[in-house]
Amino acid sequence: MKRLVIVGTQWGDEGKGKITDYLAQSADVVCRYQGGNNAGHTVVFDGKKYSLHLLPSGILNPNIENVMANGMVINPKAFSEELKKVDRFNLHISDRAHVVLPYHIELDKAYETIKKDVKIGTTHKGIGPTYTDKSARIGMRVSSFIHEDKFAHELKHLIELKNKELISYGHDPIDFESVYNEYKAYAELMKPYVTDTSYLLNQYIETDKKILFEGAQGVMLCLDHGTYPYVTSSSPTASSVPVNTGIAPWLVEGAIGVTKAYSTRVGEGFMPTEIKNKLADEIRVRGNEFGTTTGRPRRIGWLDTVVLRHTKRVSGLSYLAVTLLDVLSGIEELKVCVSYNLDGKEIDYVPADIDDFMRCEPNYITLKGWQEDITQVKSFDELPKAAQAYLKTLSDLVKVDIAIFSVGPDRNQTILVKDIF
Ligand code: GDP
Ligand code: IMO
Ligand code: MG
């Protein structure tokens, strides 16, 4: 495959950054297609760890073209900070992406406070309000942001509008002058990278370049297909790539679903296979399950194949990359969810209604665990038999082949089972 999507199959933090960085070694282009700095993608190699929030995970390879596509929302301040962490890179930013402004962040916090016990547990990065403004057609596009007069004119008008809302929530109004003066410097910084990235991507395709499309979040956080309303405000699915990047749907050749060997979720919202005991605490520590963006402890659960089959249907999955398999070493028995019981009936789908979803009880099969440390394993055959059986069962239950598995955070702890890209 020459054009492959990297998609999170669960609730985010599956290791998309790691898999993108690994596959980027044989790519020409890496394109982030949605989300903003709510994402936190970790890349580890040569003993160094990088946390990327906005920049595509190919950015650490100086030979790769990196694209931030129109489906993204870009916080210019966070962008300027992240840019300082990297050197020698090629970057292109869509003129159609939207800009996260300070009032989006304040409104994100205000909505969460108002919602009290039904809050979503957002990252407070202003993502929801920025996508809301995009849909309401009162957003700020990158093309306006980098145009000095347009930026001033649109910002003045928008701050007037947003201040009315902020004041109604008992919030201090935002000062136009100070935002303008700070942000016009970010606009200057961003300007040289801005282009029509749809045009560019289509040129890359015409010249046969190998492209990875890197998603943020995971399909269960999709605005359309996730556990609404406990979702993010964009669509991380592989099926969203054409609209989020400006390429024809038939030019996407496949998707690799990055799947944690168990489940995690950060923020609010039901997770059917959640475990809240000593084992969950042990997995959290062993897997370093603390948010890359907010530092919040991630909730832990058993692997849920109803979720994976849902992801396969709504997103499309050609192959799986199973990550954090090493974290399960030393556990006697491993549970895998194969269906739900909803009001006495066995089901194999994720109900749309959140109250129905919250009544779903997982049905499990139990697999034998393994005791060995697998962090130095270099092939499928070197894995303990029980770990092989765990991967095989996962693949059989989802009916998708595994192309990669991963036994540690480092780039070289990644094992290619099938050469797909
Ligand atoms: P992303 O948001 O999908 O890119 O994932 P994050 O980077 O937020 O979270 C994944 C975490 O797991 C990071 O800390 C990675 O360094 C780490 N990680 C990735 N793959 C493995 C693995 O196979 N084993 C272990 N132990 N850690 C891994
Ligand atoms: P990566 O790309 C995990 C979660 C938040 C919250 C919900 C909505 O690193 O996998 P938002 O700020 O987007 O409005 O929050 O989505 N969330 C993530 N959880 N990984 C992420 O990104 C996430 N991005 C958002 O915790 O529950
Ligand atoms: Mg993450």
Which tokens hold the place of 166?
């902020």
409 and 348 assigned to the same domain = yes
**pLDDT reading at 117 higher than 90:** no
**pLDDT at residue number 293:** 83
Q: Whose CA is nearest to atom 12 of ligand 1?
A: 15
**pLDDT reading at 74 higher than 90:** yes
| Ligand 1 pocket, residue 15 CB under 6 Å | yes
- Which CATH number fits the domain that encloses residue 286? 3.90.170.10
Is 53 part of any domain?
yes
Last residue of a domain, one of 159, 192, 225: 192
**pLDDT at residue number 385:** 98
pTM of the entire predicted model: 0.98
Is 84 part of any domain?
no
**pLDDT at residue number 292:** 82
Strand partners, 231: none
Using one digit for the tens of pLDDT, what is the confidence trace for 318-339? 999 999 999 999 999 999 999 9
Residue numbers of the domain that contains 128:
98-192
Cβ-count burial 97-132 (b if 16+ within 10 Å, e if not): bbbbbbbbbbbbebbbeeeeeeebebbebbbbbbbb
Q: 260 C-alpha vs ligand 1 centroid, how far in Å?
A: 9
Using one digit for the tens of pLDDT, what is the confidence trace for 240-274? 999 999 999 999 999 999 999 999 999 999 999 99
286 and 381 assigned to the same domain = yes
**pLDDT reading at 152 higher than 90:** yes
Catalytic: which of 21, 41, 95, 104? Answer: 41
| Ligand 1 pocket, residue 41 CB under 6 Å | yes
Is 289 part of any domain?
yes
The pick from 42, 283, 407 for probing ligand 1's pocket by mutation, whose C-beta has the most ligand atoms within 8 angstroms, reads 42
Amino acid at 278: K
Mean pLDDT of 66-71: 98
Q: Please say if 98 is a catalytic residue.
A: no
Backbone phi, then psi, for 323, in 5-degree steps? Answer: -110, 165
64 and 181 assigned to the same domain = no
304 and 379 assigned to the same domain = yes
181 and 310 assigned to the same domain = no
Mean pLDDT of 197-214: 98
**pLDDT reading at 6 higher than 90:** yes
240 and 335 assigned to the same domain = yes
Is 365 part of any domain?
yes
Last residue of a domain, one of 192, 219, 240: 192
Using one digit for the tens of pLDDT, what is the confidence trace for 270-290? 999 999 999 999 999 999 999
Of the ligands numbered here, which is closest to the C-alpha atom of 14? 1
The pick from 7, 13, 48 for probing ligand 1's pocket by mutation, whose C-beta has the most ligand atoms within 8 angstroms, reads 13
Instruction: Give the number of domains in the chain.
Output: 2
Mean pLDDT of 52-60: 97
**pLDDT reading at 300 higher than 90:** yes
Strand partners, 340: 347, 362
**pLDDT at residue number 158:** 98
Is 45 part of any domain?
yes
Q: 17 C-alpha vs ligand 3 centroid, how far in Å?
A: 8
The pick from 265, 282, 323 for probing ligand 1's pocket by mutation, whose C-beta has the most ligand atoms within 8 angstroms, reads 323
**pLDDT reading at 126 higher than 90:** yes
Last residue of a domain, one of 143, 173, 192: 192
CA 4 – CA 176 distance, rounded (Å): 42
269 and 318 assigned to the same domain = yes
Rounded (10°) CA dihedral 182, 91, 123, 296: -120
Is 91 part of any domain?
no
CA 77 – CA 83 distance, rounded (Å): 10
261 and 373 assigned to the same domain = yes
CA 133 – CA 146 distance, rounded (Å): 18
If pLDDT is split at 50, 70 and 90, which confidence band does 294 have? confident
**pLDDT at residue number 382:** 98
If pLDDT is split at 50, 70 and 90, which confidence band does 54 have? very high
370 and 257 assigned to the same domain = yes
Which tokens hold the place of 45?
């190699």
Of the ligands numbered here, which is closest to the C-alpha atom of 265? 2
The 3-class secondary structure across the chain, one letter per residue, is CCEEEEEECCCCCCCHHHHHHHHHCCCCEEEECCECCCCCEEEEECCEEEEECCCCCCCCCCCCEEEECCCEEECHHHHHHHHCCCCCCEEEEECCCEECCHHHHHHHHHHHHHHHHHCCCCCCCCHHHHHHHHHCCCCCEHHHHCCHHHHHHHHHHHHHHHHHHHHHCCCCCCCHHHHHHHHHHHHHHHHHHEECHHHHHHHHHHCCCCEEEECCCCHHHCCCCCCCCCCCCCCCCHHHHHHHHCCCHHHCCEEEEEEECCEEECCCCCCCCEECCHHHHHHHHHCCCECCCCCCECEEECEEHHHHHHHHHHHCCCEEEEECHHHHCCCCEEEEEEEEEECCEEECCCCCCHHHHHCCEEEEEEEECCCCCCCCCCCHHHCCHHHHHHHHHHHHHHCCEEEEEECCCEHHHEEECCCCC
Mean pLDDT of 152-178: 96
Of the ligands numbered here, which is closest to the C-alpha atom of 41? 1
Using one digit for the tens of pLDDT, what is the confidence trace for 357-395? 999 999 999 999 999 999 999 999 999 999 999 999 999
If pLDDT is split at 50, 70 and 90, which confidence band does 34 have? very high
**pLDDT at residue number 37:** 98
Exposure on the CB side of residue 8, measured as CA atoms within 13 A? 31
188 and 202 assigned to the same domain = no
34 and 125 assigned to the same domain = no
257 and 396 assigned to the same domain = yes
H-assigned helices in 271-406: 278-286, 305-315, 354-358, 385-398
**pLDDT at residue number 116:** 81
